Structure 1
Amino acid sequence: MSRYAYTTFCDDIRYEVNGKVSLMGTFGGVLFIPVAPALIPKLCCIISVHSDLDDPISDLRVTGSFLGQTIFTSEVDDAGLKEMYAAAPAVENRKGFTAQLMIALAPFSMESYGKIDIEILVDGEKLDCAGLQISKAPEGMILS
């Protein structure tokens, strides 16, 4: 299995007392808003990057951009990735490891509709990763 990455966008990330992480209000690739410009109080992005155990990640760089402007960057070096792996729960016959980064944009202000693009570099190699399209809500759509 090769390296791959994916994102989940949501309204909020909550850390439960039992060690679980709850994602509130997840988006399926498109976030509909009534008008732009707009101010979203909080927008969260969970970025997951997977690699086989025999091909460990030693450098991870993530950049999020909206309409060509960088809105966040995050970088994890070899020491940080080893710390993530050491903190991961033990799993029998583990085949790989998934590093996760959780980003909160609070608030997220935008002047127009567009797409949040995610660029991921793993040991200098670019991985494809989906972003989030932000579009005008269709007429009659109920937003809550």
Structure 2
Amino acid sequence: MEPYGITIFCDDIRFEQQNKLMLIGSYGSDLIVNSALPVALPKLCFFVQLRFPPMKISSLKISIYLPESDEAFFTQELPVNAAEIATEVETPSLPPMLGDIQRQMAVNFPITISPVLLTQEGYLKVRAIYDGEILRVGALRISSTSTRGNVFIEARPIGRKEGEPIEDYVVEDHAENALATFKTQAEAIAWAKTLGHSPLVARVRHLNDKAKPDHWRSAD
């Protein structure tokens, strides 16, 4: 089997008797903030569950990334051999009628971070580094109700002359705040639609006044 994992995002993790955990306020695929960003969450919890073959593990680390950031804002390393604290479980293999089982090792990470400052929309990502291999073990989409609506997709650099190459495409709001940057216009449009925005593009390259609706058309 290949190692894999999942993350449950929630508001709180409580430790109960008989080695039980209670996850309070679990999120689905989205965390929608009902105010303008940036906003500070008092607490955000991550219940990371990892499964891997029953073998010795030399290193194991969990890293969490804020939206649009390549630098982890939280990292937790396992200080001892993971196999020493892992729980061996037996999971029925597929198809179940064969009657055989597949042995796995399980490691659970309950993580609480307080506070968590969210400055922009995008995906909050969880990664596990298992013996040097990066595993994608969860992502939570962050969005704000106050920023949904029309966004403007503009080519950069600004003021380029006819025939000059385009470096990238920026998604901006009405206040000209850059929300995200992409190499292609199609990627920028797709990202905006994923977050529930209505992307607009300029009708004419050099006419891009956001206060004038006739300068823009829908990207649909």
Q: Which runs of 5+ in 1 are unaligned?
A: 140-144
1:134 to partner: Cα distance: 0.8
Q: Secondary structure at the match of 1:82?
A: helix
Q: Structure 1 residue aligned with 2:78, among 70, 76, 79?
A: 76
Query: Highest relative contact order (Cα 8 Å, sep 6+), 1 or 2?
Result: 1
Alignment partners' CA distance in 2, 1:103 and 1:23: 11
Partner of 1:2: 2
Partner of 1:142: none
- Where do residues 62-141 of structure 1 align in structure 2 (5 Å cutoff)? 62-66=62-66, 67-68=68-69, 69-77=71-79, 79-85=80-86, 88=87, 95-137=103-145
Amino acid at match of 1:17: Q
Alignment partners' CA distance in 2, 1:52 and 1:10: 28
Q: Which runs of 5+ in 2 are unaligned?
A: 92-100, 149-220
Q: How high is the TM-score relative to the length of structure 1?
A: 0.81
Partner of 1:27: 27
Larger Rg, first or second structure (1 or 2): 2
The share of aligned pairs that are identical, in percent, is: 27
Report the structure, 1 or 2, having the larger strand content. Answer: 1
Runs of 4+ that moved beyond 4 A: 89-94
Q: Secondary structure at the match of 2:49?
A: strand
Aligned: 1:41 with 2:42: yes
Amino acid at match of 2:47: I
Contact 2:89–2:103 (CA under 8 A) maintained in structure 1: no
Q: How high is the TM-score relative to the length of structure 2?
A: 0.55
Provide the aligned C-alpha RMSD in A: 2.4
Contact 1:9–1:46 (CA under 8 A) maintained in structure 2: yes
1:83 to partner: Cα distance: 3.3
Contact 2:4–2:51 (CA under 8 A) maintained in structure 1: yes
Partner of 2:199: none
1:90 to partner: Cα distance: 7.8
1:12 to partner: Cα distance: 0.2
1:107 to partner: Cα distance: 1.0
1:58 to partner: Cα distance: 2.6
